[in-house]
């Protein structure tokens, strides 16, 4: 999972502080300092896959809803809403395994992307349904295909971006 490399160095360092002892005649002194450098290297991405495969599956199901006719409301919107709940549940499970922090973690970024893509797919499904009700079946089908492929590519690109660039 991780490879740990360590190196330790010992040096002397001058500190110009009385360390809170104001009655000391002279502030500061020379003391030894131990520096321990630790480098962690990821040797496998299996842990990331195990953590986020449910989130990716939820996005896939949310996008596959575009293959269902827009006026089949129960199936179409049920897949989208169910996908949002699955991604949200996955986010809670993952966040329980992480220490508390005020920074936006990689896990939160990946889950935010997933929920954003799924929410957008539900919004586009509403648009597609309105086209279908306006007797524009061809426009509805074209919107569904374009949305499915473009949101899928956007999801992959945004995940690659947050893995490549440290945002927080």
Whole domain around residue 89: which residue ranges? 46-164
Q: How many CB atoms lie within 10 A of CB 22?
A: 7
Segment 84-100 shows an average pLDDT of: 89
Across the chain, what does the average pLDDT equal? 86
- Considering the domain architecture, whether residues 102 and 135 belong to the same structural domain is answered as yes
- Considering the domain architecture, whether residues 151 and 113 belong to the same structural domain is answered as yes
The 3-state DSSP class for residue 103 equals coil
Please count the structural domains in the chain. 2
Q: Check residues 166 and 57 and name the one with the higher pLDDT.
A: 57
**Side-chain half-sphere CA neighbours of 157 within 13 A:** 7
- Considering the domain architecture, whether residues 128 and 75 belong to the same structural domain is answered as yes
- Considering the domain architecture, whether residues 102 and 145 belong to the same structural domain is answered as yes
pLDDT score at 16: 77
- Considering the domain architecture, whether residues 36 and 115 belong to the same structural domain is answered as no
Segment 91-107 shows an average pLDDT of: 87
Segment 125-129 shows an average pLDDT of: 94
pLDDT score at 36: 83
Dihedral over alpha carbons 17, 22, 25, 27 (to 10 degrees)? 10
pLDDT score at 62: 94
pLDDT band at 149 (very low <50, low <70, confident <90, very high): very high
**CATH, residue 132:** 1.20.58.390
- Considering the domain architecture, whether residues 96 and 75 belong to the same structural domain is answered as yes
- Considering the domain architecture, whether residues 32 and 58 belong to the same structural domain is answered as no
For residue 39, give the H/E element and its range.
strand 29-42
- Considering the domain architecture, whether residues 71 and 149 belong to the same structural domain is answered as yes
Q: Which of 49, 28, 35 is nearest to 7 (CA)?
A: 35
- Considering the domain architecture, whether residues 21 and 85 belong to the same structural domain is answered as no
φ, ψ of residue 166 in degrees (nearest 5):
-80, 110
Q: Rounded to an integer, what distance in angstroms lies between the CA atom of residue 140 and that of residue 69?
A: 9
- Considering the domain architecture, whether residues 88 and 157 belong to the same structural domain is answered as yes
User: 């990689």: which residue's tokens?
Assistant: 106
User: 26-83 pLDDT, tens per residue?
Assistant: 666 777 888 888 877 767 777 778 888 999 999 999 999 999 988 888 888 899 999 9
Q: Rounded to an integer, what distance in angstroms lies between the CA atom of residue 78 and that of residue 2?
A: 40
pLDDT score at 163: 85
- Considering the domain architecture, whether residues 51 and 95 belong to the same structural domain is answered as yes
Segment 11-21 shows an average pLDDT of: 77
- Considering the domain architecture, whether residues 80 and 150 belong to the same structural domain is answered as yes
Residue 20 has pLDDT above 90, yes or no: no
Residue 118 has pLDDT above 80, yes or no: yes
């Amino acid at each position: 999972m991780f490879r740990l490399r360590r190196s330790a160095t010992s040096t002397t360092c001058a500190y110009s502080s009385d360390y809170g002892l104001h009655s000391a005649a002279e502030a500061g002194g020379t003391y030894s300092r131990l520096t321990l450098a630790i480098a962690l290297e990821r040797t496998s991405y299996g842990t990331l896959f195990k953590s986020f495969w449910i989130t990716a599956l939820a996005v896939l199901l949310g996008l596959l809803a575009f293959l269902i006719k827009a006026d089949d409301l129960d199936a179409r919107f049920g897949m989208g809403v169910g996908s949002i709940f699955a991604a949200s549940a996955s986010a809670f499970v993952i966040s329980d395994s992480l220490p508390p922090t005020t920074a936006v973690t990689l896990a939160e970024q990946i889950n935010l992307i997933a929920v954003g893509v799924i929410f957008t797919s539900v919004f586009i499904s509403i648009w597609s349904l309105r086209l279908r009700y306006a007797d524009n079946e061809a426009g509805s089908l074209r919107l569904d295909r374009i949305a499915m492929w473009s949101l899928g590519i956007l999801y992959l690109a945004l995940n690659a971006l947050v893995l490549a660039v440290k945002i927080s």
